[in-house]
Structure 1
Amino acid sequence: MRARFAAVLCVALWLLYMTTVVITLSRGGALTDAWHLIGTVLFLVSVTMLTFSACMYLLARAGALPRFANHRRDRRADIDGFFAENPTRVLALIPSYDEDPALVRLGLWSVALQEIPHLRVVLLLDDPPTPLDPATRERLDRTRQLAAEIAEALAPIRDLARHALGELTDATDDAVAAARVAEVHDRATAWLRRMAEAEPTTTHIEQFFVDQVLRALADDLAASAAALREAQHDPDFALDRARVTQLLQRVVWIFSAETDVFERKRFSSLSHEATKAMNLNAYLGLLGGRHRLRIAGATDSTRSAEERYEIVDVPECDFVLTLDADSMLLPEYALRLVYRMHAPGAERVAVMQTPYSAYRGAQSRLERLAGATTDLQHIVHQGLTAFSATFWVGANAIIRRTSLEDLRTTTVEDGIEVTRFIQGVTVIEDTESSIDIVSHGWTLVNYPERLSYSTSPADFGTLVIQRRRWANGGLLILARLHALVRQRQASGHPVSFAERMLRANYLGSIAWVTVGLLVLMTVFPLDGELVSVVLLLIALPYFVEMAHDLRYLGYRRSDVIGIYGLNLLLVAVNLAGTIGSISQALSGSKSAFARTPKVPTHTPAGALYILTPLAIGVGAAVIGVRAASEGAWVATAFAAFTSLCVLGAMVRLIGVRFAVSDAWNGWLEWIWVDAAEPTRPVSIAPALPAWRSVLDDALEPAAVAR
């Protein structure tokens, strides 16, 4: 009730504000001035856009909170019983490009230990297969070895559990069978705890892996072993042999993952388009077949066919699990989500996910606040599901195999047959694919638990790259949303008003909120009458409820001020992403994909992204002084608060030293001109035919570069 009241209150305050402004300005005759009229209209439109996005946040959380409250975990016995009778093949794909092997290793382990039968884990390495740099080659080799190392480590407990499962079939005494299963659980528990003790814990991500994956799984298995022993001594309870068998099968599942590495760039018969979407598409296109792939660079006609081609067998699957290389899953992620996708009524669910949360224990203020915004989005995404407006969040998901076939398209590019399931027209291919999925009559669902986690940028430069990519593409997809609405209307299954508004806000809010903030900060000094107490009150329900959500998520209520400052820091970043979308729409040329760096060193942010928030902070301070001199105290308070938030964010989140160095280095890069090479004497020679020149002298490197 409170959540819905906040949304209604926000709308009511907006109506009150708009009414009072129009009446006040009409009575004063100020609207006769054309420039003043334009400024006023821009200001009111901006307030409306900001209010709309605030209301969409409040509406989404109003849908999310009941989902959290009503959610009940499925009984583990029911899940184990289902999979014992319904073997399910799950393929886990982890795309990776230029990642830290230590980080990839944690993600791989978190998937390999999933409690799901028939799990196959494939690391999709997208690095150039033959790097020249020795350090890069050594890092790539270490990454390649991860799959084999995991398979070797899992083998002893897997073989023990499988052998015990065979013995269990022949056992006649239930007590002996239960004792044997408890013993296997003990062995698996000891193995997990030894691994936990041996793992490094120098970072909060490594500590999370040890605590939430290894030790949590070990504690769960230990509790099952203890329960088995206690059950044998309970005279009122007869231990079910089928359940004992399922408990042993669980250990087999945990330690039976098949692991492999696939590198599409090793093969000239596959697309080498440099995107995560195409990395996934290349492998998905091979599912369920035996393929003869041509090895890249194998052009020597004297080589045998075995040296020029490689036979690749890719088994079929029922579900595809995707996970970013810097993300991590809790052990029951696949088990619970796949089980829900088998439930009655879920036959048309194409994607089920748990939008990722941020790792706890962030090592910087910026990472902590960036993580807070991620966790707030977890709530928003649950609200989107409540109104059938779910978007795929690409960091992790379970995808139904049959739904992918509806998305399949095949084209010929540069003589290569290219199969696409994820189109990748924009750099936010997961959001784009959501519209494709819905347009084919499938649905997407967010499971209301936190079962997946991912890294947050630790410094401002890294955050700039990530958020600029997130801001680029939403406007382009709005047109496809409009087409979806018309399609559903024509088919007799119209999109609800709430779904339409929530989807539109998800796609376009970064653009219009950024523009709205800029207008507010540049137009309101023109007339103090535009800034009133009612204007400030419009934002009150939004900030109060967000502060409440932050407290619910384990943060401080006061972090809402830090998030406001962080958003002001990102105004230029979001504007750059928006301009990228507009540029792509006008030119038809797709924006380059900018990978978020995962390095411990400082990533430069660029002078523009440092100077813009500085200009906002200083400009707001000047406006505040001017407003105070004119007695406009509400405008003074708003300007002073904005100035303190953005300048404080620069000091606390970026750091004075990094801000100065990034601005200075950005300036040098802008004015720097490479010295021209000395001009060589030119001898006049007889002109040669073009073909003769090519055959005799080839092309100069400079000509190729041009």
Structure 2
Amino acid sequence: MSIVHPTPSSRKIILGRLAMLVTVGSWIYYVVSTVIRQFVEDPYAGFRFRLESVSYLVVVTFLTFSALMYLMARQGALYRFREHRRVPRGELDKHFANYSESVTVLVPSYAEEPHVVRGTLWSAALQEFPDLRVVLLLDDPPNPTDPEKKARLEQTRELAGHIEHAMSAPADRANQALSAFRGRYGSGVLETDQVSSDELDRLILEYQAAAEWLEAMAEAENVQDHVDEFFVDLVIMGLARELRLVLVALEAAKAQTTSPDVERAEQLYLRLTWIFNVRLENFERKRYASLSHEANKAMNLNAYISLMGKRWRKEETAGQTVLRPATTPREDDLVVPDSTYLLTLDADSLLLRDYCLRLVYFLESPGNERVAVTQTPYSSFRGAPTRIERIAGATTDIQHILHQGMSYYGATFWVGANAIIRKRALEDIVEVETVGGFEVRTYIQDRTVIEDTESSIDLGTYGWTLVNYPERLSYSATPPDFGSLVVQRRRWANGGLLILPKLWNQLSQRRYQRERILFREVLLRVNYMASITWASFGLLFLLAYPYDSRLLSPAVFVAALPYFLCMGSDLRDCGHRFSDIFRIYGFNLILLPVNLAGVLKSLQQGLTGDKIPFVRTPKVKNRTAAPAIYVLIPYAIVAFSALTIWRDFQHQNWGNVAFASLNAVLAMVCIQSYIGLWNSVVDVFLGAINWLYVTPKAKTQTKSPVVPKTAEEVDWQSILYHGDRRLNRDLRDGTDRRRRISLR
């Protein structure tokens, strides 16, 4: 797909407006012509019919509302795509020529495959930016005992050093070329003077060398799947083609016996240093007892951010390492540089070459001083080998469009796969608490498993805004099988309801400050956080309850039609098929139990206060088995739809027959395509085995008589540091027995 969205035609924009009018008009017509008319014509209708009418109207209203929000967000995206003008490359080079601010790229990783992390780190390292640090935040246990896990962790740890070493040669060449140029064109030379033909030849040689280095790297890559193909073609060769384009311009200048001026030539030399000068390092928070070890991405990021801009002394205490602020510098101190901007990047995502350059330029443009977060919501990789990965990618590409439209109405949400964050904004929302005697600073909330959504609300409360940049500059992997998709979508469905009260508090705060709040913004935000809840329960009611045929009307179909037609058009624009609207509908049918489970988990956390554990999406080559219940319920939907067809056919309730037939056919097709009949059998069998099989407890061995430790054997450091909370067990067993005797 193109980086810049095509400019939508006037016809497309007019049809989008018409779609919203048809949706609202059809809903109003349905309420008046069907529901109200039934009450007027039959004022003595029974209680059951009235209850059915109200519940059916509620379901239809919520589903129509979500469809309308889709059309509204889509319309906002069309307006933005029409108005967007790409910043010329020369303006970017001029802005960053004498730039002094820095970007720190944070890549949180847990149990990731090394080749997946490698691509992400390379895409970050090849960003064109003057001052760039890439930090891999490894969250694996630092000392695994399993040989396979240990080998994988060691390979991942070595990635940063390998990449920095590989880039050192072209970096040295670019730095020397820039230094030599500045030596030749030092004081006394006007910036507007043209460089000599010899200088132009030198510049051409440098760009040729840089492009050839990238092309050689691309040639040496081992391409195994569509993600590797994307990495080679769009990340490495995309940058090489950009440099080749500069070569075309320089060769043309040479042929025309002219050349760039000194200022522009220096910018071109600088660009090469931006590409290859990068620092990479690893950080493992679980090596330090003073940092939070909460098992989620948010606290992995928070742990490192809390250390930035300070020097820390490592203190060994009772076999553990704690970090304390360093009062006097020492060589072994942990020094964590500060930076103006943070780039958070999931370990399975890839960035295109000028992501940092363009988004930081946007943040520093006039009028954007209060923008805290900007990003390009990720798109899906092309050429996925599995049907479920392709259809999940289609939904991802649709979400990219909707997030762009939400920015038009000021309803942007941070989507956590990638983002440029103004660090100063995080300082406004930080929460500080003391846990176990150590200060824990929480910038990105981990109260829910959708930490990016909650942080969006927190930033808005303090007057910050978020904006999605209207280009495609980031891509991320979609789950390749049903099992891993279950993990991802169940997490996405969990937490939106819990954040709604925060949204209300934010709106109250903004009203108190007399800030103008668009009603459309509120509607879009509420729909984003809660639509999974009402859509899941609404679809469940429509599937399970035999509503009276008098409540059915063609107006309901007409109200939903613009939504599906516009989605089909959007899918086609993203390189998918118009007919994927049916596949997405069936896809959502088989994901119904997954979404309901996520919603129920949110309700459980709201009632009990117990935080729902963060479950990472598996990113492995082998298939992930899905829980049996999520496999069986789609089959139950097909069976119940077939029963509904038979029952309503007997009563000649043709509307319900058509709806149930559509559900049965699409659900069965999607089961076969996205889960697989044989995979269903395997997953159900594994689920039964896991339910029936109980790991036997190890037999308790008869304790041998406790021999109290001698003074030479006692871990005195542990006793002095931990006190009686973590006394050495042997010491406790021996001395407690003597204490009891003396007390008697």
Q: Return the TM-score normalized by structure 1.
A: 0.93
Identity %: 47
Deviations 1:103-123 (A, max 9, x none): 000000000000010101111
Cα distance in 1, alignment partners of residues 27 and 736 from structure 2: 70
Superposition pairs for residues 299-314 of structure 1, below 5 Å? 311-314=333-336
The counterpart of 1:520, out of the listed 519, 542, 546, is 542
Q: Give 2:417's aligned residue.
A: 395
Residue 251 of structure 2 is aligned to residue 229 of structure 1: yes
Cα distance in 2, alignment partners of residues 680 and 232 from structure 1: 86
> How far apart are residue 317 of structure 1 and its match?
0.8
Q: Name the CA shift for 1:438/1:677 in 2 (closer, same or farther; >3 Å).
A: closer
Residue 217 of structure 2 is aligned to residue 217 of structure 1: no
Q: Give 1:703's aligned residue.
A: none
> How far apart are residue 681 of structure 1 and its match?
11
Q: Give 2:615's aligned residue.
A: 594
> How far apart are residue 680 of structure 1 and its match?
9.4
Q: Name the CA shift for 1:437/1:697 in 2 (closer, same or farther; >3 Å).
A: same
Q: Give 2:654's aligned residue.
A: 633
Secondary structure in structure 2 of the residue aligned to 1:123: strand
Q: Give 1:688's aligned residue.
A: none
Superposition pairs for residues 20-419 of structure 1, below 5 Å? 20-26=33-39, 29=42, 32-171=45-184, 173-234=195-256, 239-294=260-315, 298=319, 311-419=333-441
- Quick one: which amino acid aligns to residue 104 of structure 2? L
Q: Which moved more, 1:647-656 or 1:40-49?
A: 40-49
Conservation of the 8 A alpha-carbon contact between 1:95 and 1:325: yes
- Quick one: which amino acid aligns to residue 541 of structure 2? V
- Quick one: which amino acid aligns to residue 255 of structure 1? F
Q: Which moved more, 1:196-205 or 1:84-93?
A: 84-93
Q: Could you tell me which runs of 5 or more consecutive residues in structure 1 were left unpaired when the two chains were aligned.
A: 684-690, 700-706
Q: Give 2:22's aligned residue.
A: 9
Cα distance in 1, alignment partners of residues 375 and 72 from structure 2: 21
Q: Name the CA shift for 1:517/1:300 in 2 (closer, same or farther; >3 Å).
A: closer
Cα distance in 2, alignment partners of residues 613 and 293 from structure 1: 54
Conservation of the 8 A alpha-carbon contact between 1:185 and 1:225: yes
Q: Could you tell me which runs of 5 or more consecutive residues in structure 2 were left unpaired when the two chains were aligned.
A: 1-13, 186-194, 705-728, 738-744
> How far apart are residue 331 of structure 1 and its match?
0.5
- Quick one: which amino acid aligns to residue 655 of structure 1? G
Secondary structure in structure 1 of the residue aligned to 2:624: coil
Cα distance in 2, alignment partners of residues 51 and 421 from structure 1: 37
Conservation of the 8 A alpha-carbon contact between 1:182 and 1:226: no
The counterpart of 1:661, out of the listed 682, 685, 692, is 682
- RMSD across aligned C-alpha pairs, in angstroms? 2.4
> How far apart are residue 353 of structure 1 and its match?
0.2
Cα distance in 2, alignment partners of residues 574 and 277 from structure 1: 22
Count matched residues. 687
Superposition pairs for residues 569-580 of structure 1, below 5 Å? 569-580=590-601
Q: Name the CA shift for 1:696/1:102 in 2 (closer, same or farther; >3 Å).
A: same
Conservation of the 8 A alpha-carbon contact between 2:124 and 2:134: yes
Secondary structure in structure 2 of the residue aligned to 1:99: coil
Deviations 1:371-390 (A, max 9, x none): 00000000000011000000
> How far apart are residue 244 of structure 1 and its match?
1.1
Secondary structure in structure 2 of the residue aligned to 1:526: coil
Q: Name the CA shift for 1:677/1:330 in 2 (closer, same or farther; >3 Å).
A: closer
Q: Name the CA shift for 1:296/1:574 in 2 (closer, same or farther; >3 Å).
A: farther
Conservation of the 8 A alpha-carbon contact between 1:116 and 1:254: yes
Q: Give 2:457's aligned residue.
A: 435
Cα distance in 2, alignment partners of residues 679 and 89 from structure 1: 58
Cα distance in 2, alignment partners of residues 650 and 207 from structure 1: 29
Residue 445 of structure 2 is aligned to residue 423 of structure 1: yes
- Quick one: which amino acid aligns to residue 355 of structure 2? Y
Secondary structure in structure 1 of the residue aligned to 2:335: strand
> How far apart are residue 297 of structure 1 and its match?
6.2
Conservation of the 8 A alpha-carbon contact between 2:288 and 2:320: no
- Quick one: which amino acid aligns to residue 570 of structure 1? L
Q: Give 1:538's aligned residue.
A: 559
Cα distance in 2, alignment partners of residues 333 and 378 from structure 1: 16
- Quick one: which amino acid aligns to residue 158 of structure 2? Q
Cα distance in 2, alignment partners of residues 483 and 337 from structure 1: 30
Cα distance in 2, alignment partners of residues 599 and 57 from structure 1: 33
Cα distance in 2, alignment partners of residues 673 and 208 from structure 1: 44
- Quick one: which amino acid aligns to residue 347 of structure 1? E
Q: Give 1:644's aligned residue.
A: 665
Q: Give 2:5's aligned residue.
A: none
Cα distance in 1, alignment partners of residues 94 and 730 from structure 2: 76
Deviations 1:56-109 (A, max 9, x none): 000000000121122111010010011003332111110101000100000000
> How far apart are residue 674 of structure 1 and its match?
5.2
Q: Give 1:695's aligned residue.
A: 733
> How far apart are residue 630 of structure 1 and its match?
2.1
